Structures are given as structure tokens and as C-alpha cells.
Structure 1
């Protein structure tokens, strides 16, 4: 389906995806239904079935929509500052009571749906590729060894935060983010990410 920016199709998509996020938070993936989403979005369920088909289609599009949002890698002038900014943004997401439940619900749903899992994988691949620009710049400036894997460094800087949120349930904050980014940077400077 093609949509005109700002047209009815775009408004319907925004309403439906907002309903998907809300339903995931309220009911979780097992309770997510096309009917509940349609009702919450204020559209007819046939509209939802026609465009998204299934609950998996809804969750996958919610992840795709997140990937479509404009995000730029930070440019603080140093790789340390950039990695800390990236990790701090992740920590800020998980300390924000408005954003945390949405991210947790979508990631949890992706564990229960192959199609959503693919969309989640695509989202993180795109985000890591964008964030890798900070590492590429650092290599060009001589701050990191040539051959440093940019995506792996970004992953390593953020992984402890996701571990705390999704595995141990421990809190994350900016201090945790800074420590995580600095540990990843130390590994890269030691040539362990080549």
C-alpha cells in the first residue's frame, strides 16, 4: 500500500501503531489482537486485516516504524564522548517511564514472533550501522587501532545495559552507561575488537 505523507493512510498507520504499542504494554504479546488494536486506534478491523494481516504483521511494522525514525550518531569530538552519548541514550530510554514500557514490550513480543524477530534484528542492524560512524571517525582520527570493528564496539558499549534490563532486572543509569562505554573503549584501544 502506498501512502501520501500526511495523508489518511499515514494517519491510520500512526493511530494503529500507537495502539499496538499501548496494547503490548497493557496486554503483552499473548493478549494482542487485531480487534483490540483496531478498537483502540478507532479504525475498522478490516482496515487492520487488509494492511497488516496478522498480529505478527502489526508488531513487525511497529519495529519497522521505529527504524524509520531519524536518528543521528553523536559527534562530540572524541570517541569516548560519542560512545558515552550512545550508551547514555540507551540508559535514558530505560529510565524514562514513558519510553521504557514500549521498548520492553516490543522486544518481548519479538521473542514470541519470528516475523517480529526479523524486524527487531533489522532495526538493531540499522541502528548499529548508523552508530558505527563514531568508531569509523575515531579510527580516521587515530584514536583507535585500524581494523577496529565499528559495529562490535557499539554493541559492546551497550550490551551491559540491555543485559541489566532484560536478564537481571537491575536498574540502569548514566553512571552505568559511562562505565559500559569506557570498558568497551578500553577493549578497542587494546586491539581486542579487530
Structure 2
């Protein structure tokens, strides 16, 4: 689900060029949105040649797809606190921090807006969230093994249930995205899980 602001990517010159271009693309998206994402402007921001950007990415959609892939790779790994509620609280607070971050919030709004009208952008966004859900699903599977949740619980549905109310606040209601909201989201998902709501039919 979420990219930790300020992450440093390792690698040589090729990796540095990619990092610079993706950082520039993220800034441009946050400032102007997907509709005005221009590869030439991104190249200028990144301090690289236009031909490099056009040759490697070719389109704004391909650049957004790579940006989302990079964000998924660079996101904070799941934590292991030994209890489901603490693990899911950590997940909820990571989501909250990302959506409340000034730059990241604008970037996510731009990408979600792009996904609503561009199939390729939507596919890239879906892949991003699939990676993040797979990262956090094991904490639920471990909880099932410890007896905290019923056998047959769908781990991915539990993880989705944590972030869903936070995204609702972010995109729809405008209610505060505070730490209390993150705690409630995690605790509600745990309570529903214990009640068997997420057991596969």
C-alpha cells in the first residue's frame, strides 16, 4: 500500500538515473496531476536527457507504472510484533502516515485519478496494492497459526479491511486521518476477523 518518504535506492549509474527520473515524476504528479505529466519536463527536473526518458519509458503511463513498482519495492516492510492487533496497527499507521504526508497524499490522489480514466494506470495501481497486500498478509497467517483467528481466514481480506476506512477518509469523507482513526481501523479488522467475518466460504 505505501511508500516510505525519503527512501534511498542502491545501485550504479542506471539505478541513479532511474531514481532521479522517478523522483522527478513523483514531484510532477504531486504538483500537476497525471493529465499534465510531461516526459520532457520530467527529464529536465531529473537533470537527464529527454532521449533517455523517452527511450526507457516512452509514455506517461509507463512512467507512472514504473513509479508505482518502485514505490512498492521501497515501502517499509511489514513488522512482526507477535500479536495481530499490534501488527495491524503498524500497518494502519503506515497507511495513515503515507496518506497524511503532504507530497505523498498529492501523488496518490494523482495516481488514483489517472487510474479512474486510464486502463494501464489502473493496472499499475492494482499491481502496487497487490504487492503491498502480499507483504502484509503473512502477519495474518501467523495469527491464524497462533490461534488468534479462525482457520480459513482470508489474510488478504483482513489486510484490505485495515486500509479501506483510511482511504475512505482520504478520498471521500474528508474526516481526520489521525492516529485514533488508524487504531480503530486495525482494531475493527481484528474484531471482525475473530468473529469469522473473513473466513472463506
Fold shared by both chains (TM-score > 0.5): yes
Secondary structure at the counterpart of residue 132 of structure 1: helix
Match for residue 104 of structure 1 among 109, 123, 141: 109
| Structure 2 length-normalised TM | 0.89
Task: Please tell me whether residue 168 in structure 1 is matched to residue 173 in structure 2.
Answer: yes
Match for residue 91 of structure 1 among 96, 103, 126: 96
8 Å Cα contact 1:164-1:172 kept in structure 2:
yes
Question: How big is the shift at 1:108?
Answer: 2.6
Task: Please tell me whether residue 179 in structure 1 is matched to residue 189 in structure 2.
Answer: no
8 Å Cα contact 1:34-1:54 kept in structure 2:
yes
8 Å Cα contact 1:59-1:109 kept in structure 2:
no
Deviation by residue 1:25-82 (Cα, 9 ceiling, x = unmatched): 1111111111111111112211111000111111111001112225321111110111
Cα distance in 1, alignment partners of residues 102 and 172 from structure 2: 19
Q: Which sections of structure 2, spanning at least 5 residues, go unmatched?
A: 1-9
How many residues end up aligned between the 2 structures?
A: 190
Q: Which sections of structure 1, spanning at least 5 residues, go unmatched?
A: none
Cα distance in 1, alignment partners of residues 27 and 38 from structure 2: 12
Question: Which has the higher mean CA deviation after the structures are superposed, 46-55 or 35-44?
Answer: 35-44
Secondary structure at the counterpart of residue 43 of structure 1: coil
| Structure 1 length-normalised TM | 0.92
In the other structure, the counterpart of 2:159 is: 154
Q: What's the C-alpha RMSD, in Å, of the aligned pairs?
A: 1.5
